[in-house]
Amino acid sequence: MKNTQADVQHKQTSDVLSDGPDWTFELLAEYEQEIDRVAKHYGLDTYPNQIEIITAEHMMDAYASIGMPVNYAHWSYGKKFIQSEQNYRRGQMGLAYEIVINSDPCIAYLMEENTMPMQALVMAHACYGHNSFFKNNYLFKAWTDASSIINYLLFAKNYVAKCEQKYGVSEVENVLDSCHALMNFGVDRYKRPQKISMQIERERQQNREQHIQSQVNELWRTLPKSEAKSSEPTRRFPSEPQENVLYFIEKNAPLLEPWQRELVRIVRKVSQYFYPQKQTQVMNEGWACFWHYHILNHLYDEGKLTDKFMLEFLHSHTNVVAQPAYNHPNYSGLNPYALGFNMFMDIKRICQSPTDEDRQWFPEIAGKDWLETVHFAMQNFKDESFISQFMSPKLMRDFKFFAIEDDEQNAFLDVSAIHDEAGYHAVREKLSAQYNLSNIEPNIQVFGVDSRGDRSLTLSYLPQNGVPLADSHHKVLKHLHHLWGFSVKLEQIDEHGSSQTLATYPEQPVENSQPLTGIII
């Protein structure tokens, strides 16, 4: 496929870059320089790059520690390492060509085994595609601080190690286990965290430790005043449901030691850091694929790349953005690379050669400058809103999307909409909802604390479309109990506002003798 870019005037046939297949550091630098030039030409704004060449073993190390160069020690990372090592050895899994970290400078790991064309592809993809996404997408800008994450993880690693020395490995492990169980509920979805460096973080940590413990806990405060209790109107605590369970525990769990609170905080912070990545997978990968494709094609048009290089590149590229159909043996859901790449390509198409249909669906962008439009899309959306904003009927036809309704009350599945005039809006809406994290993760909030009674903590679960919680919630509740220190309860609230107890820990005989498990609504 030829790049239709008009401003490729400077055809330089003179200095063709070597196509390897073996790479050298000089060659990498040469390629990087060329890619950098083209990226600037297209207005990609990036953090400085730090490119590290690693071996397969290092890559598995990185896998194990959630991709980060430093992380605190925990058995689950060991498990992950053993798992990926086993899978890799048995040939069940290929390793990623690269890992890129949202940090400033942006750290990218390239695998030693890659050929020169692969290294060039990976540099364009990670060091310019992902990098510019990290720097410019509104979610990343608001939620993560690229300059402090490595320092923070270093702080976390040292702090955890210190705690292990002081209080024992098992003690620390128990707290971290419990926090990990609730990790997905350690995220502020609306409030924005502050940026702080490691230095400040450490100072604050010490202050915080003294402060939190010295402050009379909301729960304990009620103790001495218990004589006057009947006169006061019952005040709810917390006054409104809290979505960030770990934050609530960090600040309010009555029995936690200061260091345990700090561990809760560390897990919470890490979770928060990864939150934007969960919400922008399609866009992020799509953006990176879009740019490795454009940058390398641009270089080819300039005559810098050989045909051999391009064949290898296109081979890898098409593999990455392939989308098998629903009935294909390799089908495992939508491929975010394929969806994202095609959406950005489609936006470009709508800008450059809009059809009547496009003009009707996208009057704001049809015929506009494509470069500005894709940058605008990259900066201001997340997966969910990106799809509902930019998914075009043509793309739905290309992907042949169809929506299935799976209601357990019916014995059959229902095809509710397909890629036709009547279904475009419905398909787009459903696809967008599929990427809405609040639809994927169960909605569980801290509902209340019995601050006058046994200090038990109640969580509420609001099911969507009657989807129940999986059985694992019993185990999670045990972990919650470990952190909270008093009994904990999980309630399910149905659409009429009435609640049912799903589980308690420690398990108590339930008064209204409802079954604890297997509630069917």
Mark residues 426-465: x for contact with another protein by CB under 8 A, - for none: -x--xx-xx-----xxx-x----------------x-xxx
- Judged by CB under 8 A, the residue of 232, 240, 405, 495 near another protein is 405
- Which residue's CB is nearer to another protein, number 231 or number 327? 327
- Which residue's CB is nearer to another protein, number 68 or number 139? 68
- Judged by CB under 8 A, the residue of 124, 417, 449, 488 near another protein is 417
In the chain, what is the straight-line distance between the N-terminal and C-terminal CA atoms, in Å? Answer: 54
Q: Minimal distance in Å, beta carbon 311 to another protein?
A: 26
Residues shown for the chain: 521
DSSP string spanning 53-120? Answer: EE-HHHHHHHHHTTT-SS----HHHHHHHHHHHHHHHTTS-PPPSEEEE-SSSEEEEEETT--HHHHH
Say whether residue 399 binds another protein (CB under 8 A).
yes
Say whether residue 334 binds another protein (CB under 8 A).
yes
265 phi-psi bin (left φ>0, alpha ψ -120 to 50, beta other): alpha
Tokens 């955890």 found at: 160
User: Do 18 and 27 touch, CB atoms closer than 8 A?
Assistant: yes
Q: Minimal distance in Å, beta carbon 61 to another protein?
A: 4
- Restricted to residues 159-218, the positions that interact with another protein (CB under 8 A) are 169, 173, 177, 180-185
Q: How is residue 470 annotated by DSSP?
A: P
Burial of 289 (C-beta count, 10 Å sphere; 0-12/13-18/19+): buried
Say whether residue 468 binds another protein (CB under 8 A).
yes
Q: How far is residue 369's CA from residue 54's CA, in Å, rounded to a whole number?
A: 40
Q: Minimal distance in Å, beta carbon 157 to another protein?
A: 10
User: For residue 444, which amino acid is it?
Assistant: I
User: For residue 498, which amino acid is it?
Assistant: S
Say whether residue 319 binds another protein (CB under 8 A).
no
Q: Minimal distance in Å, beta carbon 214 to another protein?
A: 33
Q: How far is residue 254's CA from residue 244's CA, in Å, rounded to a whole number?
A: 17
- Restricted to residues 253-292, the positions that interact with another protein (CB under 8 A) are none
- Which residue's CB is nearer to another protein, number 173 or number 450? 173
Q: How far is residue 234's CA from residue 335's CA, in Å, rounded to a whole number?
A: 52
- From 201-209, 279-287, 361-369, 394-402, span contacting another protein (CB under 8 A): 394-402
Q: Which token pair is 291?
A: 């740019």
Say whether residue 476 binds another protein (CB under 8 A).
yes
Q: Minimal distance in Å, beta carbon 468 to another protein?
A: 5
- Cα-trace Rg, the chain: 26
Size of the site for another protein (CB under 8 A): 105
Q: How far is residue 515's CA from residue 286's CA, in Å, rounded to a whole number?
A: 47
Q: Which token pair is 204?
A: 């604050």
Say whether residue 73 binds another protein (CB under 8 A).
yes
- From 277-285, 286-294, 319-327, 365-373, span contacting another protein (CB under 8 A): 319-327
Q: Minimal distance in Å, beta carbon 429 to another protein?
A: 9
- From 191-199, 275-283, 418-426, 446-454, span contacting another protein (CB under 8 A): 418-426
The number of beta carbons lying within 10 Å of the beta carbon of residue 347 is: 26
- Judged by CB under 8 A, the residue of 43, 308, 331, 508 near another protein is 331
Nearest residue to 134 (alpha-carbon basis) of 40, 48, 47, 70: 47
Q: Minimal distance in Å, beta carbon 196 to another protein?
A: 25
- Restricted to residues 4-63, the positions that interact with another protein (CB under 8 A) are 25, 28-29, 32-33, 36, 48-55, 57-58, 60-61
- Which residue's CB is nearer to another protein, number 408 or number 454? 408
Q: How far is residue 248's CA from residue 231's CA, in Å, rounded to a whole number?
A: 28
Say whether residue 412 binds another protein (CB under 8 A).
yes
User: Do 446 and 248 touch, CB atoms closer than 8 A?
Assistant: yes
Q: Minimal distance in Å, beta carbon 494 to another protein?
A: 12
Q: Minimal distance in Å, beta carbon 225 to another protein?
A: 35
Mark residues 106-125: x for contact with another protein by CB under 8 A, - for none: ---x--x----------x--
